[in-house]
Amino acid sequence: MTAGPQQPPRARVIVASQRAAAGVYADRSGPLLVEGLRALGFAADRVVVGDGAPVAEALRAALDGGVDLVVTSGGTGVSPTDRTPEVTAPLLGYQIPGIAEAVRAYGARTVPTAALSRGLAGVAGRTLVVNVAGSTGAARDALAALGPLLPHALAQLRGADHPPPAETRAPRPASGSASAAASGSAAASGSAAASGSAAASGSAAASGSAAASGSAAASGSASAPTSWEQARAAAHAAGLAALLPAADVPLAGADGATLAADLTARTALPAFDTSSVDGYALRGAPPWRVVGRVLAGARPAPLPDGGTAAEVATGAMLPPGTDAVLRVEEAEVAGGVVTGTPRPAGAAVPEWRAAGAEAAAGALLVPAGAAVTPAVLGLAAAAGHDVLPVHRVPRVAVRVFGDELRTAGPAADGQLRDALGPALPALLRRWGAEVDAPPPPIADTLEAHVAALRDALADADVVCTTGGTMRGPADHLHAALDALGATYLVDTVAVRPGYPMLLARVGDRYVVGLPGNPQSAVIAALTLAVPLLAGLGGRDLPALAAVPLAAALPGRGGDTHLALARLTGAGAEPVPHGGSAMLRGLALADGYAVVLPGAAAGAGATVPFLPVHPAADAAAPPVSGRADGAVVVVAEVTGAAWDPAALADAVRRPAAGAVAAFHGVVRDHDGGRGVTALTYEAHPDAGAVLAAVAAEVAADPAVHAVAVRHRVGALGVGDVALSAAVSSAHRAAAFAACARLVELVKERLPVWKHQHFADGTAEWVHCA
């Protein structure tokens, strides 16, 4: 019997582009990649999806379909929407950094910015996955670099299942030769770990990469610790890769959830011209004859021509035809006739709110990924919404390991009171999880560990365990996870306290292993569990504020040092009782001052600050400041509009003789072209950068208070994009400090502007 013809290897091209997916423009890179892969002997097809989570969904579909090769195009750069490496990394069993470096090296020969691509390459099951940049030039370069590598790589993955593709030479790119790719890969392959990307690691044994440690850990040998910054990023990326489903929830039940879609205005805000005062709606020249009365909630008839007026209440809809509103306290009424002088248009306190003054119908109010707060609920209701699309709240199970623990009464007879059983569920609830009270502590046996994990994973999205994260004689967590077929994403983190923590994936669920010492467990929860929960819920990685230190803090060599601190007018002040096994200091602290590896931090230095609780739960200490009362009142990157006058009022102080304010407004032209609208996008770290800039300006001895906000999302002509306000004793100092604040924001804040012109074109500004 003669065997049938051998089937060619299958390839899937996944194009990550929000605008191509929406039909704004045609995808050109995807067809080029498909054509090139077919020339290499593959049966190739293509899908086009939006950035971020849709890429993860398309990847999982391709992997479930058993394709031999997946090439993603786009989303590998450094802009805030470039998330392809972050959603790819958690799906890889192991990485092949040499392939990614070969692609980068080939492109960088002629286009230096190709080095900015953070694309990964690796294996998921028996599928090779490669991320490439989104331009057509990057597609050509990728084909040239991959051509010589793919036959051997697939042969190693498949053995005799598939022969090498018939054509082993890559399609010739527009310039250069295919052979150049091999020359750059060996020299570059060890450099990936230095890139700063949580997912772009070198080998698992050496880089400390969160995404590459699975094989080392599963074999029973410990991999090098992951850096603290990489661990947070890897946990967040793992959550995004398993984004929880969304559902429409009534407003009353949506508090604390995360928006799964942009909140837009179903109607203009306000929906109609509304009186801001009690008084008279006027039409025509004075005197005005009173012809009616309008209360809030009524729909008025139009005012007749010829000097007429209608009495109106605050909040009432103005009659059509209204020219002006006269306050009741400024009006004289006699014999049914009103006289007086209305305030001019543009007065400091307007007499009415024009329809759409706050937002036009269809305007973006709050972007997807934002937390639903009481203010968001009120805004949604005002904008006409009855339900909100939100992601399901992550379900977390807490399991405490240890024969030495008791759950009632004081410690005695060698047994300790379990402190984490009550503390951890409360902490995780504050960060947006649904958590039940844990069962009694689990026995220190492998069988008990496996049974407890299997039971918890049946219902929970995330299981947080305490204790057993080392490899001592009574530590069974690694063995239990190995028995369940876990893949390790993080296994030990270079941070003190908290070093022996881990994050593992079991099927489509996650296990966060926390150390048994209470403070170390809290640090591990803030490092791994909180970012993971944010990703699962579709939220950004929680930003770190920047605060000045009230006292010097030591470093911990090559490890990150997290020092308990409380926020005061002088900045972050260390608290006592900060040992790994202690809770007393934690009870007094607002969070942790972060001392990065390799150095100590002196008094007055600005450092990142990791809060124990979300900002909304904290008391209201100043973000930063000095003992003499100079503070950063607010430093915020936000999708919501604000009252510019209120921001300036917020920095007023009794000793401040001057307040200088700047408000940057969207104008209707740029470079001779008419502007209709623009959209700002920000890097996830933009909030921390803005806080650091504000703290730097507040450190000026002449400054009393600082406030600054930058808008993101869609803005129209006339909207305020940036507000900055500074108070000082004298006007010259206030002017100078405010100008410096604005210039530093312009120089350092990682935001990008997408500007739309009247001729139908658009361009990105401030992009690298």
What are the pLDDT digits (tens) for 162-179? 443 433 333 333 333 222
Which class is 10-202 in CATH?
A: alpha beta
Rounded Cα distance, 617 and 619, in Å? 7
Which residue carries 């036959």 as its tokens? 151
Report the predicted TM-score, pTM, of the whole model to 2 decimal places: 0.53
Q: What CATH number was assigned to the domain covering residues 274-353? A: 2.170.190.11
What per-residue confidence (pLDDT) applies to 405?
65
pLDDT in tens, 553-592: 988 888 999 999 998 877 888 888 766 766 777 888 899 9
The secondary structure of 277-339 as a DSSP string is SSEEEEESSSSEEEEEEE-TT--PPPPPSSSEEEEE-TTPBPPTT--EEEEGGG-EEETTEEE
Question: What's the confidence (pLDDT) of residue 175?
Answer: 30
Distance, in Å, from the CA atom of 639 to the CA atom of 365, rounded to the nearest integer, reads 7
**What's the confidence (pLDDT) of residue 599?**
74
Nearest CA among 596, 519, 511, 607 for reference residue 561: 596
**Is there a contact between 173 and 466 (Cβ–Cβ < 8 Å)?**
no
pLDDT score recorded for residue 188: 28
Q: What is the pLDDT of residues 273-318, one digit of tens each?
A: 999 899 999 999 999 999 999 999 999 999 999 899 999 999 999 9
What is the per-residue pLDDT for 281? 94
- CATH ID of 622-768, from 3.40.630.30, 1.20.1730.10, 2.70.98.10, 3.90.1170.40: 3.90.1170.40
pLDDT of residue 621: 34
Fold agreement (274-353, 622-768): no
Extract the residue ranges of the chain whose pLDDT is less than 70. 1-6, 39, 109-111, 159-223, 345-349, 404-408, 578-579, 581-582, 615-630, 654, 765-768
Name residue 416's amino acid.
L
Across the beta sheet with 720-728, the strand order is 631-638, 703-711, 720-728, 658-665
Q: What pLDDT sits at residue 686? A: 78
- Return the pLDDT at 159: 63
CA atoms within 13 A on the CB side of 292: 18
Q: For residue 674, what are the CA distances in angstroms to 678, 719, 720, 721, 766?
A: 12, 16, 18, 18, 19
**CATH dotted code for 395-536:** 3.40.980.10
pLDDT for the residue 710:
92
* Residue 677: per-residue pLDDT: 82
| Domain extent listing, the chain | 10-202, 246-266+359-391, 274-353, 395-536, 622-768
pLDDT at 187: 27
- Provide the pLDDT for residue 483: 94
Non-local (6+) Cβ contacts of 140 within 8 A are 32, 36, 171, 173, 174
CATH superfamily of 246-266+359-391: Molybdopterin biosynthesis moea protein, domain 2 (3.90.105.10)
